[in-house]
Amino acid sequence: MKTYRIAAIPADGIGPEVIAAGLQAIETLAKRDGGFTLDVTQFDWGSDRYKRTGALMPEDGTEQLKKFDAIFFGAVGAPDVPDHVTLWGLRLPICQGFDQYANVRPTRILPGISSPLAGVGPGDLDWVIVRENSEGEYSGHGGRAHKGLPEEVGTEVAIFTRVGVTRIMRYAFKLAQSRPRKFLTVVTKSNAQRFGMVMWDEIAAEVSREFPDVRWDKMLVDAMTVRMVRDPKSLDTIVATNLHADILSDLAGALAGSLGVAPTANIDPERRYPSMFEPIHGSAFDITGKGIANPVATFWTAAQMLEHLGENAAADRLMRAVEKVCEDGTMTPDVGGTANTQQVTDAVCDAIRGSN
Ligand code: NAI
Ligand code: MG
């Protein structure tokens, strides 16, 4: 029997609510399948720790996480702490410290959930967005001079490297190849941005030669938003820069029904370090403590985590259970239901136990 060491970092807002739901579902799966167990360690890192001690996580935080097989992350952000402090104090140091350069964001319309797009249902929108997660616009390269004076300057430099672009492109082509349609869309803004973005286009063409069975096309990011809304069926696997894919995947989540169902995985494809799995959404202050956070995004990312650990049968079983519960209409208010987090979680666990 395999035991997986999981670091749970629920952090802020609804993070603890959805991570508890996710762990309940995985534990039910482990019991149902009998082939693996979880050894979960909880970390109390986040904004409360920041307010107490001045840091969201300890100085040796990433060192402590190294021994785990995966990280299960809730959300970080508090109304009374600036967002750049929380993001750069916890989530980004883990993503960047562990070189989790592939951020993988599957989106599809689950049965029972309606898209805001008229006439678009399950099967019409089935995408995976691959976001470059280590450099680009979020390299953290920049600065401010003459602070507060009229001549103040702020720079935010996007860094694109051949190594960084080649490895994400290869990851995206490989992922596209593993999906039935074998089709990749490469997103840039290489009309207005003549250097880094033109290098993306060139490297895409180079890497494509390693994957002769994958069809691919190119889009400018602004036109891509139109295509996602008007012709969702024409897309399958998508690769874009850190900033572009950040924005496109929020749009994708909304088109699939709610941010509350959108998952993401921060992957180190070389498996040198633990990868991190989290819902796309943030702390959701407006619903924190009300018990109505949608746990589906967290279930879905738990399935991504199980797949990464090699437990594909358990991952499939979890997604089938989630789909059944959505189809039956046991859903939280953000997707039009009346159930609370615990009722959805219990229904998913029942479906896991009752599945064949
Ligand atoms: P948000 O994702 O927290 O909330 C946006 C809207 O979606 C809210 O109306 C919220 O109620 C709803 N929503 C989100 N998740 C939901 C769920 N599971 N079930 C039902 N409804 C859900 O984004 P917002 O409001 O922009 O940010 C709030 C805080 O979260 C900020 O501090 C922000 O920096 C942080 N944040 C953290 C992220 C992370 O940890 N990865 C990602 C995005 C935001
Ligand atoms: Mg985002």
Which tokens in the block code for residue 165? 């672009």
* Cα-to-centroid distance, 254 and ligand 1 (Å): 12
* ipTM score of complex: 0.98
Bridge-based pairing state of the strands 126-132 and 237-240: parallel
* Cα-to-centroid distance, 14 and ligand 1 (Å): 9
Q: Which atom, in ligand 1's list, is nearest to the CA of 333?
A: 20
At residue 155, φ and ψ (nearest 5 deg) are: -120, 150
- Closest C-alpha residue for ligand 1 atom 1: 282
Are 1-101+281-356 and 126-255 the same fold in CATH? yes
- Closest C-alpha residue for ligand 1 atom 17: 260
Ligand closest in space to the Cα of 83: 1
Ligand closest in space to the Cα of 247: 2
Determine whether the shortest distance from the Cβ of 83 to ligand 1 is under 6 A.
Answer: yes
Pick the CATH number of 1-101+281-356 from 3.30.420.40, 3.40.50.300, 3.10.580.10, 3.40.718.10: 3.40.718.10
Map tokens 């149902």 to a residue: 32
Give dist(CA 99, CA 146) in Å, integer: 33
Query: How far are the Cα atoms of 47, 72, 289, 335 from residue 320, in angstroms, in the given order?
Result: 35, 21, 28, 18
CATH topology of domain 126-255: Isopropylmalate Dehydrogenase (3.40.718)
Helix (H) or strand (E) holding 194, with range, is none
Determine whether the shortest distance from the Cβ of 260 to ligand 1 is under 6 A.
Answer: yes
Q: Give the model's pLDDT for residue 246.
A: 94
Ligand closest in space to the Cα of 287: 1
- Closest C-alpha residue for ligand 1 atom 5: 284
Within 10 angstroms of residue 251's Cβ, the number of other Cβ atoms is 15
Q: Residue 72, CB half-sphere, CA atoms under 13 Å: how many?
A: 35
Determine whether the shortest distance from the Cβ of 77 to ligand 1 is under 6 A.
Answer: yes
Q: Give the model's pLDDT for residue 73.
A: 98
Q: Give the model's pLDDT for residue 234.
A: 97
Domain ranges of the chain: 1-101+281-356, 126-255
* Cα-to-centroid distance, 295 and ligand 1 (Å): 13
Ligand closest in space to the Cα of 246: 2
Per-residue pLDDT of the chain (356 residues), as tens digits, is 899 999 999 999 999 999 999 999 999 999 998 889 999 999 999 999 999 999 999 999 999 999 999 999 999 999 999 999 999 999 989 998 999 999 999 999 999 999 999 999 988 999 999 999 999 999 889 999 999 999 999 999 999 999 999 999 999 999 999 999 999 999 999 998 999 999 999 999 999 999 999 999 999 999 999 999 999 999 999 999 999 999 999 999 999 988 899 999 999 999 999 999 999 999 999 999 999 999 999 999 999 999 999 999 999 999 999 999 999 999 999 999 999 999 999 999 999 999 87
Q: Which atom, in ligand 1's list, is nearest to the CA of 90?
A: 40
Q: Which atom, in ligand 1's list, is nearest to the CA of 286?
A: 11
Single out the residue of 16, 83, 17 nearest to residue 345, CA to CA: 17
* Cα-to-centroid distance, 282 and ligand 1 (Å): 3
Map tokens 């039956």 to a residue: 328
pTM: 0.94
